[in-house]
Structure 1
């Protein structure tokens, strides 16, 4: 079928593709690897690629006024991740993307994405649905951060990312949940 089965499976969940379309899409992808702690993107750089995580976990964060890392997103395998504002405007990124473990990433440049849209119009539908889902998730995160208890957020995190606690440093999970690492340790002891 393809040398990129996970991304094709991801796409086929939402749209049908024939073999020529699969070949066209995969011909536009750039495969890259990251070592643990290596950056995919730094604040101030322009985000030139949409990134599909084949293997590993990346963290998206910004640095606050006190110099603390504030985790916005954890991008585990089979997820798309990028700084959308920077990607679509060509302006500097506001976020860092860093590998929390060795990672494999498929990248798609803006010109290649446009070529895919021109040649395979149903891919616009695929990305529209992905963007809609992302907006729903972001809205849920806002509500969660405003109104749910730390215990509720932690339970939901464990359901969404069942094996991540064993794979990445707890400080990133605590920041993602908006709690201290010490409080996360207390929560974990109660579960």
Structure 2
């Protein structure tokens, strides 16, 4: 719980009563490796704060290929924010690629926090803006890089993730085949 509160405090001030209220609303859960936290076609009803493990966001393209959009590791919020806010079915899956622990805030808890904590909506807006900026900063450079550069950039930006992610997911994220990724890795060593 401390990690969640410390994360929130980076985006705004909260007093002890407000922190206690947030603590009372956050529910601790765990999920096993390879389980889906959220499936496409469903409307998200909660946001989570990941405290342990790695999740990935993926979808299926029109050919039926599974595409990894990005990875989320510890001390980050996880949600399909567009579907959550608009209450529309998601087009993405959120899957645990390691065993994960997290805190859940339900939609009703989020509304209650919004109505009770004056600063809450501002904190959520700042976290959302940071999340979107992080996503753009991860994806934009990849558009101009070749496969080797994308892999090296990934290693540079996320050195702790590389050994925690299956090669098939990493290859999908980088937009290359698993055999191409194996060749790149072999040539770098």
Task: Report the TM-score, using the length of structure 2 for normalisation.
Answer: 0.91
- Which of the numbers 86, 93, 96 marks the counterpart of 2:93? 96
RMSD of the TM alignment (CA)?
1.6
Q: Return the alpha-carbon distance in structure 2 between the equivalents of residues 65 and 188 of structure 1.
A: 29
Partner in structure 1 of residue 66 of structure 2: 69
Q: Return the alpha-carbon distance in structure 1 between the equivalents of residues 27 and 84 of structure 2.
A: 16
Q: Return the alpha-carbon distance in structure 1 between the equivalents of residues 36 and 20 of structure 2.
A: 29
Give yes or no for the alignment of 1:122 onto 2:119.
yes
Deviation at 1:142, TM superposition (A): 4.3
Structure 2 residue runs of 5 or longer lacking an equivalent are: none
Partner in structure 2 of residue 164 of structure 1: 161
- Deviations 1:109-138 (CA, angstroms, capped at 9, x unpaired): 222112112222222222212222222233
Q: Structure 1 pair 59/142, CA: closer, same or farther in 2 (3 Å)? A: closer
Residues 3-14 of structure 1: pairs in structure 2 closer than 5 A:
4-14=1-11
- Which of the numbers 7, 25, 29 marks the counterpart of 2:26? 29
Deviation at 1:164, TM superposition (A): 1.6
- Which of the numbers 118, 142, 145 marks the counterpart of 1:145? 142
Q: Return the alpha-carbon distance in structure 2 between the equivalents of residues 163 and 171 of structure 1.
A: 17
Q: Structure 1 pair 21/186, CA: closer, same or farther in 2 (3 Å)? A: same
Q: Return the alpha-carbon distance in structure 2 between the equivalents of residues 131 and 125 of structure 1.
A: 10
Give yes or no for the alignment of 1:112 onto 2:109.
yes
Q: Structure 1 pair 122/155, CA: closer, same or farther in 2 (3 Å)? A: farther
Question: The residue matched to 1:62 in structure 2 has which SS?
Answer: strand
Structure 1 residue runs of 5 or longer lacking an equivalent are: none
Give yes or no for the alignment of 1:56 onto 2:53.
yes
Q: What is the number of equivalent residue pairs in this alignment?
A: 188
Deviation at 1:20, TM superposition (A): 1.2
Deviation at 1:149, TM superposition (A): 2.5
Stretch moving more, 160-169 or 37-46:
160-169
